[in-house]
Amino acid sequence: MRQHLLLSSLRGRFGLNDVGVLALVGGALCAIHILTAPFKPSLAFLAGFFLLPFALLAFAPIPWQWTGDDRRKTGLLRGLGQAILFNGLWIIPCLLFWGEATAPDPSALPPMGTPRPGAFAPVLGFGVFIWVLATGFGWIWAEKEATEAQERETAELLRERLEALVAARTEELSQKTRALEEALDALHHQSLTDPLTGLRNRRYLDLTLPEDVALACRAQRALGISAPERMAMNIDLVFLMVDMDHFKRVNDDFGHGAGDLVLCQLGEILRRAVRDTDSVIRWGGEEFLVVARNACREESPVLAERIRMQVSDWAFDIGQGRTLSLSCSVGYAVYPLTLGETDTIHWEDALDLADQCLYAAKRGGRNAWVGLAPNEQADLSQCTKAVLLDVEGALQKGLFKVHTSLIPARGIIWGHRG
């Protein structure tokens, strides 16, 4: 307990650490050892004896966190402690053996307290030499440790800076990559979008429709031609061609700006009239194509009439506070055209039939819709691509059924646009 009080007192009074306290105590013992060696051998031996365990503590390791001046000061104190140890290890044998060698006869020794000639100088000189030598080594070691610590600090700082630089560069590259991906997505979206109406264009149809056709054909083959309930199932594709009636008059009378407004509003009407899963495509000019996916062929007339009515009821804003009442014509066809075998008739053939139905509606007076659906009770094996070129002949054979809003339906004039 007293030892701890002594150490605590030295620490508090002089601001020393454990090594400093050790050096102070060891220095005092070394001074007693050196100064009393010529006069009081027993006291010198006792001082050297107690010096040894204290000086051994001078080799306690220095915490690696200490850097710079703290490490250098501690290294000096350690060198001091080592000098104390080396001096003690040297002087103790000198006191035990050197004195006897110079005075082998105990009766020849001078009385206690009488100086022995020449005894003090070599002991003190060699002690100072060892002290300086050990202190020098302590300084060198402290400088080496400080340099290594500085190198570690520099390496750690460089590593942190490099990691920060790499992280910043990685984030920058990530941002540029995201920007590039967004630009590519925007470019891809732009390539599939009509710039005026914001609807999809023909290129979009070419990319997506083959997959829709494959799904419809697969569902058709899975059911078989003997399934009567198949006609009411939502497994078909319906192509609806929509064309504005007398659109040229809008451009001629009010300008192309008014015509563009009409086309944009027509696109919005069609988007509202169909489902989110359906596609509205600007086919060209004032013509639009609606692709209804997973649709029921028996409900196709309902969709066609909905489109016709919503266009007819819309007040088209052409700017400057003016509105127009316009109408449209619709022609549609379903796909697959045949039940069972789906490879003989392609979706382009169904689209051509829808186009013929569109112009049949226009020839019938406009503001109307006309559609064709295969007759499930007929021999659809006769329905070939050559037959589809002659719609009137196919109707006479009973291969198709006509659905229309025209009255009477028998007055429909068929044929391609011309």
Determine the pLDDT at residue 308.
97
Distance of CA 70 to the CA centre of its chain: 46
Q: Residue 369 carries which side chain, given as an amino acid letter?
A: W
SS3 388: helix
Phi, psi of 338 (to 5 degrees): -115, 155
Quote the percentage of the chain above a pLDDT of 70.
59
Residue 171 lies in a domain: no
Q: Are residues 130 and 234 in the same domain?
A: no
Residue 34 lies in a domain: yes
pTM higher than the cut 0.75: no
Q: Any idea what DSSP says for residue 200? A: B
Q: Residue 202 carries which side chain, given as an amino acid letter?
A: R
Q: How many domains does the chain have?
A: 2
What is the distance between the alpha carbons of residues 274 and 278, in angstroms, rounded to a whole number?
A: 6
SS3 88: helix
**Cα-trace Rg, the chain:** 54
387 neighbors 370 (Cβ within 8 angstroms): no
Q: Are residues 148 and 216 in the same domain?
A: no
Q: Are residues 13 and 150 in the same domain?
A: yes
pLDDT tens figures, 317-363: 999 999 999 999 999 999 887 765 555 678 888 899 999 999 999 99
Which residue is it, tokens 């045949």? 338
Tokens for 292? 């209804």
pLDDT tens figures, 110-161: 554 444 444 444 555 555 555 556 556 656 766 677 788 888 889 999 999 9
- Please give the chain's pLDDT, 418 residues, in tens: 444 444 444 444 444 444 455 555 555 555 555 555 555 555 555 555 455 444 444 444 444 444 445 555 555 555 555 555 555 555 555 544 444 444 444 454 455 444 444 444 455 555 555 555 655 665 676 667 778 888 888 999 999 999 999 999 999 999 999 999 888 888 887 888 999 999 999 999 989 999 999 888 888 777 755 555 666 788 889 999 999 999 999 999 999 999 999 999 999 999 999 999 999 999 988 999 999 999 988 899 999 999 999 999 999 999 999 999 999 999 999 988 776 555 567 888 889 999 999 999 999 989 999 999 888 776 666 666 666 777 888 888 888 889 999 987 667 888 766 5
Which residues constitute the domain of residue 236? 202-411
Q: Are residues 55 and 144 in the same domain?
A: yes
Q: Are residues 157 and 25 in the same domain?
A: yes
**Mean pLDDT, rounded, of the chain:** 75
Residue 252 lies in a domain: yes
Q: Residue 139 carries which side chain, given as an amino acid letter?
A: W
Residue 186 lies in a domain: no
Q: Any idea what DSSP says for residue 294? A: E
CATH at 237: 3.30.70.270
- Active-site annotation, residues: 286
